[in-house]
Amino acid sequence: MQVTFILVIVMVLILARWLAQLGLERLNQQHVRAHAGAVPESFRGVMDDATYGKSVQYTLANSRFSQFEATFDLVVLFVVLFSGVLPWASRFFEGNTVWVQAGFLFVTFTMLSVVSLPLQWWDQFRLEERFGFNTTTQGTWWLDRVKGFLLAGVIGYPLLALILKCVEWAGDWWWVWAWGALLAFQLLMSVLAPVLILPLFNKLTPLPEGALRERLLALAGKTNFRAASIQVMDGSRRSKHSNAFFTGFGRFRKIVLFDTLITQLAEPELEAVLAHEIGHWRKRHIVKMLVLSAAGSLAAFAAIAWLARQEQFVAAFGLEEGSVASALLLFGLLAGTVMFWLSPLTHGLSRRYEYEADAYAKEVVADAAPLVGALRKLNEKNLSNLTPHPAYSGFYYSHPTLLERERALNSTA
């Protein structure tokens, strides 16, 4: 009876998330359609009527795709959890060694990634292609996936084995040691990934000598932001979308600009965008997010350790009772269902940090106009949704809307 109750509760939680996802998409679609037609007065000067109409269609197409994707994920999750496929698949991984158990976990999560490939392909070569964003080739796209799977095997599989090995080494407190191992691994990768992994997917070249480089280096000096170099990434090989970020720590830190960003923005606007990114560093947002992420990882490992002791919960899905590997697998499958309801909190914090970084950028360049101009161009070039429903943006947006950011910038003393 308790096993049935557990299965019903899990089903209800998964269905509740799915219904909320569909409901939010439907709510946003209605809100966007209500503002379709002519460009709203608040956004005149951001987009012309033709571009605004295209942005509405792009938003609606993405929303319909998200509804299909949520339904697809629901079906896959139901099949994996309730069809008996997990206990059936576990029979091919007989043995109690950490390598066998890690192999079961790795193969399961890899197969789930493979199942999602058709949707990823459709998104890139149908949806993004339709609206003029896709610039990648079939060969590049598939090669990226092969590289990703190989890296997962080389890095992810041994990491899973190490986490499970902590159970043998540390007993009941294994989860604390596993968390420490994961944290050390993440810190190591933050240094190595920009040097060893990022170049496997993108070509990075130094920003050429010239006025732009001098302007950005002057900004870095003015803000006491030390970086090893300013790099340009060939993002245009895959998409017309643009971005800027910095990666690495200390003397390994690099400023990275998409080549698409450089072609879309004027020099003062690029300076303002970089000032915004530096604002995240100066306001210690990155450190705060790392601490929050570490705390979340610790809570996750504590939850996995607790689940491993709930024998009926693990047995309800036909897996080995008391097995940390089984608990880790179920946690990986169900964590998204729980985290969905926490996303307004995490995204709310992220939006707060964006406001603070915007204010810092305005202070550094002594003018709001360059950042406002950059934001307007980026929203126009990316066909961003200018009129999302507040509930939708509250759940899904890590950045404030264009109108919200402009109001904040123009009101900041």
Residues with catalytic roles:
277, 358
> Starting from the edge strand earliest in sequence, which strands make up the sheet with 204-206, in order?
204-206, 229-233, 254-258, 244-247
Structural domains of the chain sorted by starting position, each given as residue range(s) with its CATH number in brackets: 1-83+276-413 (no CATH), 204-264 (3.30.2010.10)
Per residue of the chain (413 residues), what is the pLDDT tens digit? 488 889 999 999 999 999 999 999 999 999 999 988 788 888 888 888 899 999 999 999 999 999 999 999 999 999 999 999 999 998 888 878 999 999 999 999 999 999 999 999 999 999 999 999 999 999 999 999 999 999 999 999 999 999 999 998 998 899 999 999 999 999 888 888 888 888 999 998 998 999 999 999 899 889 988 876 788 999 899 999 888 887 776 666 778 889 999 999 999 999 999 999 999 999 999 899 999 999 999 999 999 999 999 888 999 999 888 889 999 999 999 999 999 999 999 999 999 999 999 999 999 999 999 999 999 999 999 999 999 999 999 999 999 999 999 999 988 55
Instruction: Give the span between the Cα atoms of 163 and 181, in whole angstroms.
Output: 7
- List of residues 6+ apart from 357 with CB closer than 8 A: 276, 277, 279, 280, 283, 285
Q: Which of 112, 111, 108, 100 is nearest to 161 (CA)?
A: 100
Instruction: Give the span between the Cα atoms of 296 and 342, in whole angstroms.
Output: 12
Structure tokens given for 114: 């493979």
Instruction: Give the span between the Cα atoms of 292 and 124, in whole angstroms.
Output: 32
> Which pLDDT score, from 0 to 100, does residue 251 have?
65
Asked if 406 and 355 touch (Cβ cutoff 8 Å), the reply is: no
- List of residues 6+ apart from 277 with CB closer than 8 A: 244, 245, 246, 255, 357
DSSP helix/strand/coil, 284 = coil
Instruction: Give the span between the Cα atoms of 265 and 196, in whole angstroms.
Output: 29
Asked if 350 and 398 touch (Cβ cutoff 8 Å), the reply is: yes
> Which pLDDT score, from 0 to 100, does residue 311 have?
86
Alpha carbon distances (Å) from 36 to 31, 56, 58: 9, 7, 12
pLDDT in tens, 308-347: 998 889 999 998 888 899 999 999 999 999 999 999 999 9
Instruction: Give the span between the Cα atoms of 231 and 259, in whole angstroms.
Output: 10
Instruction: Give the span between the Cα atoms of 168 and 176, in whole angstroms.
Output: 13
> Which pLDDT score, from 0 to 100, does residue 196 have?
87
Q: Which of 124, 18, 131, 2 is nearest to 76 (CA)?
A: 18
> Which pLDDT score, from 0 to 100, does residue 304 have?
95
Instruction: Give the span between the Cα atoms of 55 and 43, in whole angstroms.
Output: 13
Instruction: Give the span between the Cα atoms of 120 and 115, in whole angstroms.
Output: 10
| CA-based torsion, 159, 163, 168, 169: positive or negative | positive
> Which pLDDT score, from 0 to 100, does residue 256 have?
87
Structure tokens given for 8: 């019903």
